[in-house]
Amino acid sequence: MVQRYRLLMLVFAIIVPVDQLTKIYIDSTMQLHQSYTVVEHFFNISYVLNTGAAFGILADNTLRVPLLSGVALLALFIILWIFKRVDGRHLQRFALALVFSGAIGNLIDRLRLGAVIDFLDVHWYQYHWPAFNVADSAITVGVALLVLDLWNDERRRVK
């Protein structure tokens, strides 16, 4: 049984500590809304708190912490359920492990702080993508890999 979850545990053991340590570092060395330019007109380290969901959705809702935490817990159980049923699909298992670990990283913040610490600020001059963090990056890469895997499946079926 442990063998089945080895990849999940490995990804979890890397992503969650890196996510939490970077957030702790940002929180302890920067003031809220403080920003440092890394690459002019393209990338900053900017300390922001996201009280909502993705892109700040539900940020002003008083039930946001229990609602978003509940949704995250449900998603985690679904991911584990799918992970258990995926056999021999290493890309899919790796992708699910990334999404799971990223969701845990953000859930820790939400339960601890009532918000998620974001600090990676990608922009093109004045046009900013919403700030994100290591956990968000893991989720995004995991979802992209799942889409790629589905696309490859579809291509194999057509041939």
Encode pLDDT of 74-104 as tens digits. Answer: 989 999 898 888 877 889 999 999 999 999 9
Distance of CA 59 to the CA centre of its chain: 18
- Residue 65, pLDDT > 70, answer no
| Residue 62: per-residue pLDDT | 55
Q: Is 27 a catalytic residue?
A: no
Coil vs helix vs strand at 124 = strand
Q: How far are the Cα atoms of 69, 70, 104, 124, 126 from residue 101, in angstroms, in the given order? A: 15, 16, 5, 29, 32
Angle between helices 90-113 and 6-29 (to 10 degrees): 40
Distance of CA 20 to the CA centre of its chain: 12
Encode pLDDT of 104-145 as tens digits. Answer: 999 999 889 989 999 999 999 999 899 999 999 999 999 999
DSSP letter assigned to residue 138? H
Q: Is 60 a catalytic residue?
A: no
| Residue 88: per-residue pLDDT | 72
With b for 16 or more beta-carbon neighbours within 10 A and e for fewer, the 49-84 pattern comes to bbbebeeeeeeeeeebbeebeeebeeeeeebeeebe
Q: What is the pTM for the complete model shown?
A: 0.86
DSSP of 30-77, one letter per residue?
A: S-TT-EEEEETTTEEEEEEEE-SSGGGTTTT-TTHHHHHHHHHHHHHH
Do you know the residue count of the chain?
159
C-beta of residue 72 within 8 angstroms of C-beta of residue 88:
no
Q: Which of 19, 121, 136, 149 is catalytic?
A: 136
Q: Which of 109, 118, 121, 149 is catalytic?
A: 118
